[in-house]
Structure 1
Amino acid sequence: MRRAALSADDAVLVVGAGPIGLGAAAIAAADGARVVVADTQAERRAHVESELKLATLNPMDADFHEQLKAQFNGALAQVVIDATGNPHAMNGAVNHIRHGGKIVFVGLFKGNLEISDPDFHKKETTLMGSRNATMEDFIKVQQLMEQGKLTATMMLTHRFDFATIGVDYQASVVDNKELLKG
């Protein structure tokens, strides 16, 4: 998040509501940004809405861009943070930003991207990648947790009774294709 140099009230779209996306969204919101989270899975969107209290969108909806603009007073995002590691989503990130916008890739995949160069240049896009956290990042997370702006429950989707953990884990994690992370 530090690399994105967010300002309070920036319009931020976080694509992907897995653990990395949840963390990025929570930190951006704690910094005062207006955050919308996009994910294809309804369960993940529901988790974001209930735990992070943020607006969500389904990027597969035919009118996704209109919905996104409605969240940001008729404009696209100033910053797109892609936490999917999905090449299709990453290639399309430039479509979600306004002129002068920033794209930050925090998701990773082993391959090449194919971003539309005319759109990239026309929007005067800033593109950056972020791979590892620094000590400064960990200190910020600690401070946000101390302030109650970040909580462990923001990341928790399942709880198990210790007596039945083996059966519960198999059913809820191993066999669950909708789980954020196991």
Structure 2
Amino acid sequence: MKALMKTDKNIHGQLCLREVPEPSLTDDHSVKIKVHSAGICGTDVKILNGEHWCNAPVILGHEFSGVVTDIGDKVINVKIGDRVVAETGKQICGNCFYCNTNKSLMCDQRLSIGYGVDGAFAEYLVMRDTIVHKIPENISLEEAALCEPTANAVHACCDRTSVKPGDFVVVIGPGPIGLLCAQVAKALGAQVIIVGIDQDTSRLELAKRIGIDGVNSQKQDLPELVKTLSEGKGCDIVIEASGAKSVVSTAMDIVRKGGTIVQVGLIDGKPEFDYSWLALREITITGSFGHNWICWERALKLMSLNRINIKDMISDQFSLADWEKAFEIASSSRGMKVLFHPGK
């Protein structure tokens, strides 16, 4: 089968399209899936650039959808022919504190598809049955490929904070995860604005088309705007999805006393801000990474109810043979979500 692999973890580039053996079931709880669609994530771009760890040589890709083609003898939750998505933590210990408290993505022995073990930029992959979810009938396979980042957004909005009807939420960073967080927050009943800069013009226009008010912070005074919209108190929740160091202090400026900042974007380096504000203003800063079973089911439910617009976020689609052009678009601000169709 065809597969897109990172061949050397320490070298910029070093991606190549190879013919590799088709995987087989590994045990009675294995599910073999023919990949239909797989999304390029920011993590994939960082792996390409040598900026993120990977267990090379390894097949990239962790956002995907597909169809079950084979199952182990003890698999009961899916059958051959089912349309499915799967969580990313393929290998975990199953016995540690985190595995036993529904936080297996924190397991020290976790290996995720796409960088720890072979992933979804291939025609087939094999997953364990306990992390495979069936796709509702009214969700396309292209849309379902983005269930993973949608589940991340659900985790940020529902688990790491608790967005409620009437909350004022500011999302910083109009990339894919920012737009998904904004949509989840709005679906939960919050008033939401999403913030970008000049280079994000097309993404802010997309936000408007899918019902999220966008703000260019290089053309508008964000703290003053937030004050006006909140009658002077500040927003209830900031979801920081840009990964820019300078934005953390901006988040501190606009969140209200007793408010919450959820850090979703991965920041390079150490941000600087006034730590005394955490005590004096009783601000909570919390991180958000990954998802769990419930987040995936919630994500699929929101998608099936059309509360999340995935279709308009898919900007480009390619075969694996066109991977260089796909990664070029995914690395720029021109594209939003870029999909591969490995079977083509």
TM-score, structure 1 length as denominator? 0.85
- In structure 2, do the counterparts of structure 1 residues 149 and 181 end up closer, same or farther at CA, with 3 Å as the change threshold? closer
Larger RCO of the pair (alpha carbons < 8 Å, separation 6+): 1
- CA-to-partner distance for each residue in 1:57-97, whole Å, 9 max, x for gaps? 11223522222233334432110000011111123311110
- In structure 2, do the counterparts of structure 1 residues 31 and 115 end up closer, same or farther at CA, with 3 Å as the change threshold? same
> What corresponds to 2:227 in structure 1?
69
1:59 and 2:59 matched: no
> What corresponds to 2:334 in structure 1?
178
Q: 2-side partners of 1:92 and 1:16: how far apart?
A: 12
TM-score, structure 2 length as denominator? 0.47
> What corresponds to 2:192 in structure 1?
35
Larger radius of gyration: 2
Q: CA deviation at 1:174?
A: 6.7
1:15 and 2:172 matched: yes
1:46 and 2:201 matched: no
* Higher helix proportion (structure 1 or 2): 1
Indicate conservation of the 8 Å contact 2:330/2:336, yes or no: no
Q: 2-side partners of 1:176 and 1:58: how far apart?
A: 18
Q: Percent identity among equivalent residues?
A: 26
Indicate conservation of the 8 Å contact 2:313/2:337, yes or no: no
* 1:132 counterpart SS class: coil
1:51-130 map, 5 Å? 51=210, 53-61=211-219, 63-130=221-288
* 1:81 counterpart SS class: strand
**What's the RMSD between the two structures over aligned residues?**
2.7
Q: 2-side partners of 1:175 and 1:80: how far apart?
A: 25
- In structure 2, do the counterparts of structure 1 residues 142 and 70 end up closer, same or farther at CA, with 3 Å as the change threshold? same
Runs of at least 5 residues in structure 2 that lack an aligned partner in the other structure = 1-156, 339-344
Q: CA deviation at 1:177?
A: 4.1
* 2:315 counterpart SS class: coil
Amino acid at match of 1:19: P
- In structure 2, do the counterparts of structure 1 residues 110 and 50 end up closer, same or farther at CA, with 3 Å as the change threshold? same
> What corresponds to 1:151 in structure 2?
309
Runs of at least 5 residues in structure 1 that lack an aligned partner in the other structure = none
Indicate conservation of the 8 Å contact 1:47/1:157, yes or no: no
Q: 2-side partners of 1:124 and 1:174: how far apart?
A: 38
Q: 1-side partners of 2:286 and 2:244: how far apart?
A: 16
Indicate conservation of the 8 Å contact 1:14/1:35, yes or no: yes
Q: CA deviation at 1:136?
A: 1.1
- CA-to-partner distance for each residue in 1:92-137, whole Å, 9 max, x for gaps? 3111101111000011124222221233322210110011111111
* Higher strand proportion (structure 1 or 2): 2
> What corresponds to 2:290 in structure 1?
132
Q: 2-side partners of 1:87 and 1:110: how far apart?
A: 7
Q: Which moved more, 1:118-127 or 1:13-22?
A: 118-127
> What corresponds to 1:4 in structure 2?
161
Amino acid at match of 1:28: A
